[in-house]
Amino acid sequence: MSGFKRYFSVDEALFEFKKRIQESKDFNEINTLESLNRITYENIYSRLDLPPENRSVVDGFAVRSIDVSGASPSNPIQLEIIDRISAGEKFYSTLKKDQAVEIYTGGIMPKGADCVLMAEDCVKEKEKLIVMKQCFKYQNVSRKGEDFSINDIVIKKGTLIEPFHIGALVSLGIKNIKVYRRAKVSIISTGSELKDFNDYKEGIIDSTRPMLISMVKRANLDALDLGIVKDDKDEIIKKLKEALNNSDMVVISGGTSLGNYDLVPESIEEIAKPGIVIHGIAMRPARTTGIAFNNKIPILMVSGFPVAAYISFNLFLREFIKLFYGTNLLPLPKIQGRLTKRFPNPPGIRSFVRVKVSYDNGEYIVDPLRLTGSGILSTLTRANGIMVINENSEGYDENSIVEVELTQPIEEVLNNAKNLS
């Protein structure tokens, strides 16, 4: 029962974690309409030109730009209207000198015409069109292949599918795409004292596991709930084997420091190769975090305390997602604000400080929450941001301008918001 011999820096820990994660080779071929929030497994190419032919992008008149050159209110030019084309319709003859065709948004450009006059720049008198404005070549025309040409990359490998990607795939008639199989993350809690939420009568409820499972779901990965295991090495080993056989990452909470009952590290060492690569990280909270691997499958040992578990899982989960899928992630929303009180940082430690951000008088105010044990979940629920203080910093003075990653919205007075834009 003693402290760790050495704490690894957060950067060392990330380095050791990241260098062993391998990009997945598993994919699913799914319907495009079901692909939201999935990640492309390969480049997706266009098999056609979009639009497939030149089209008008306004309601107006398709003309030859040469015929209306110099047209203005003081120099109106008269053309003859010879037909009308609706969206998706086609005109089969060729526009000749001084002719115009009435055309609607999405209408296919008639042969001969090279631009579209907007309706408001002309006067239509029965079959005559009086043109008050000139029109340059391709004005108001969406050109064949302008959106996507045959063999263009529509979506790159490793892209998170957003609604506009679905729009693009649909417009190109691409019915199925290959996406990465969703990563499976097993969650195990250890501790003979823990009771499961569903059949709890008295004692300590395991709140860390439901939180970690939700974090996995929130990240659009599949969570495998492996329940609570007692402080018994054989049982821990059995559960770890089950997890390693069924998932791409394992997270085990509790029993990971160096107390008498902390059987997780020795269980891992017995069955995993290369086993534990990092144990003890110079961060606050979550200094008992450990990283192990069985081949390329990471086993993250996190604290049984929910706040510590949250902070360390969050840190490593993001890196796992990037490397497993070969993808990039949107940055977290951040703000810069003024610190309400001095916040010292112990040398060599990276601190993840829960803060409350508010908006007052044109600036953000950052108020660090009172820190006691890392079991204090209310510091996360009451906070709406995390201020990260690096290990080379001695902390910040009162009124310093600091950067905060937002974890929840900043409260607005909704009544006021309703009257503002």
Nearer to a second copy, 273 or 417 (CB): 417
Binding a second copy by CB under 8 A: which of 39, 77, 117, 154? Answer: 154
Output the six-digit token pair for 246: 């069924």
Q: Cis check for the bond before 274: say yes or no (omega within 30 of 0).
A: yes
C-alpha torsion 309→312→317→322, nearest 10: 170
Per-position x/- string for 314-343, each x denoting binding to a second copy as judged by CB under 8 A, each - no binding: --------xx--xxxxxxxxxx--------
CA angle, corner 219, sides to 293 and 13, nearest 5? 35
Instruction: Please report, as residue ranges, which positions from 246 to 305 form the binding site for a second copy (by CB under 8 A).
Output: 257-261, 304-305
Per-position x/- string for 166-185, each x denoting binding to a second copy as judged by CB under 8 A, each - no binding: xxx-xx-x-x----------
CB of 125 to a second copy, least distance (A): 14
Strand partners, 249: 185
Interface with a second copy includes 403 (CB under 8 A)? no
Using DSSP's 3-state secondary structure scheme, residue 34 falls into helix
Binding a second copy by CB under 8 A: which of 59, 235, 242, 367? Answer: 59
Answer yes or no: are the C-beta atoms of 326 and 23 closer than 8 Å.
yes
Interface with a second copy includes 392 (CB under 8 A)? no
Nearer to a second copy, 73 or 203 (CB): 203
Nearer to a second copy, 74 or 372 (CB): 372
Binding a second copy by CB under 8 A: which of 134, 312, 351, 374? Answer: 374
Instruction: Please report, as residue ranges, which positions from 192 to 251 form the binding site for a second copy (by CB under 8 A).
Output: 192-194, 197, 200, 203-208, 210-212, 214-215, 217-218
Nearer to a second copy, 30 or 335 (CB): 335
Single out the residue of 21, 5, 26, 12 nearest to residue 299, CA to CA. Answer: 21
Interface with a second copy includes 395 (CB under 8 A)? no
Interface with a second copy includes 159 (CB under 8 A)? yes
Per-position x/- string for 11-30, each x denoting binding to a second copy as judged by CB under 8 A, each - no binding: x--xx--xx-----------
Which spans in 225-368 are helix H?
Answer: 233-246, 264-271, 306-325
Q: For residues 248 and 20, what is the distance between their CA atoms, to the nearest angstrom?
A: 12
Q: For residues 320 and 60, what is the distance between their CA atoms, to the nearest angstrom?
A: 53
Interface with a second copy includes 160 (CB under 8 A)? yes
Q: Is 251 exposed, middle or buried (0-12, 13-18, 19+ CB in 10 A)?
A: buried
Interface with a second copy includes 86 (CB under 8 A)? yes
| CA–centroid distance for 100 within its chain | 49
Interface with a second copy includes 120 (CB under 8 A)? yes
